[in-house]
Amino acid sequence: MTVPAPRLHAGTLAQSEPGEIAAEAEMVAMARLLDAGMPCGWLVIPAVFEERYYRLNNLPMRLRSLFTGLDPADPDEDIVEEAAEAATRLFQEHFLLDEAIDAFYAGLETMAARLALRRPGAASNQVAHGGRPALLAWKRVYQDDWTVDAVMARLQRQASLAIDARPVLVHDAEERADPRANARAAEDLGTSVRLSLDARGAVTRISFG
C-alpha cells in the first residue's frame, strides 16, 4: 500500500526529518531563527518526495544505464554530455505522483504568486508562477543534478554519480535585504549572516560569510 505524501505547510520545518535539517547549514540556521521567534518564508518539500520520485519511476537504474562505459575516476566528458542530454529527457517524461502534486498545490495556497524554488544553500534558483509552472520548476530542481556541470562536479568531488535525496525550498521570488534583521539574526546564531526577507518580513534566504 502506498504511504500518503506528507502534508506541506509554509512557514515551518515540521515536515522535515531532523537528519535532513542537520545536513543543511541553511536549514539548521532557520530552525534556530524560528526558535528565536523570527518567521520562516519557506515551503519545504522534504527529501522523501525526491526519494519516492526516483524509486517509483525506477530512475536510479535508468540513470545508471545512461552512463554505461563512464569511468568515474577519469570521466570522459563526451559520455557525460550525451548521458546528461538523455537524463533531461528522462525527467521530462516521468511525472510526480498525484498525491505529491496535491500536497504541493495545497502547500502553495498561502504562498506568493511568483516563486523561487531551490536547494538549501544554493545561490541560484528556478523562478515560476504558482500552479503548474511551479510544479514544472520543482521537477527542474531535481533535473539540475544531472546537467553536465553538476555531474562533472560530483565526479570530481566524490568519484561517483550517486546523489542523496535533499529538500527543496520554495519561497517568494521577490526578496529584500534588512540590515536590522541581519543584526538580530547574528545575535541569535552567533555568526554573521545576510538574510533575504519576503514582503511579510519572513526569512527566505540565509547566506553565510
Domain ranges (residues) in the chain: 18-208
Q: Tell me how far CA of residue 59 lies from CA of 62, 66, 84, 142, 186, in angstroms.
A: 5, 11, 13, 12, 41
Contact of 166 with 50, CB cutoff 8 Å: yes
- CATH number for the domain whose boundaries are 18-208: 3.30.1490.20
7 falls in which pLDDT band (50, 70, 90)?
confident
Contact of 148 with 169, CB cutoff 8 Å: no
Contact of 79 with 55, CB cutoff 8 Å: no
For residue range 18-76, list pLDDT tens digits in order. 999 999 999 999 999 999 999 999 999 999 999 999 999 999 999 999 999 999 999 99
Contact of 72 with 160, CB cutoff 8 Å: yes
**Alpha helices by DSSP H, the chain:** 18-22, 25-35, 47-56, 59-66, 77-93, 98-107, 132-143, 148-158, 179-189
Query: Could you give the CA distance from residue 137 to residue 66 in angstroms, rounded to a whole number?
Result: 23
Residues with Cβ < 8 Å from 146, sequence gap 6 or more?
Answer: 63, 84, 87, 88, 91
Work out whether strand 43-45 and strand 168-172 pair parallel, antiparallel, or are unpaired: antiparallel
pTM of the model: 0.94
Contact of 45 with 142, CB cutoff 8 Å: no
Quote the cell numbers at residue 18.
Answer: 531532523
Quote the cell numbers at residue 152.
Answer: 562533472
For residue 123, the model assigns a pLDDT of 86
For residue range 89-113, list pLDDT tens digits in order. 999 999 899 999 999 999 999 999 9
Quote the cell numbers at residue 208.
Answer: 553565510
Contact of 189 with 33, CB cutoff 8 Å: yes
For residue range 107-151, list pLDDT tens digits in order. 999 999 999 999 999 988 999 999 999 999 999 999 999 999 999
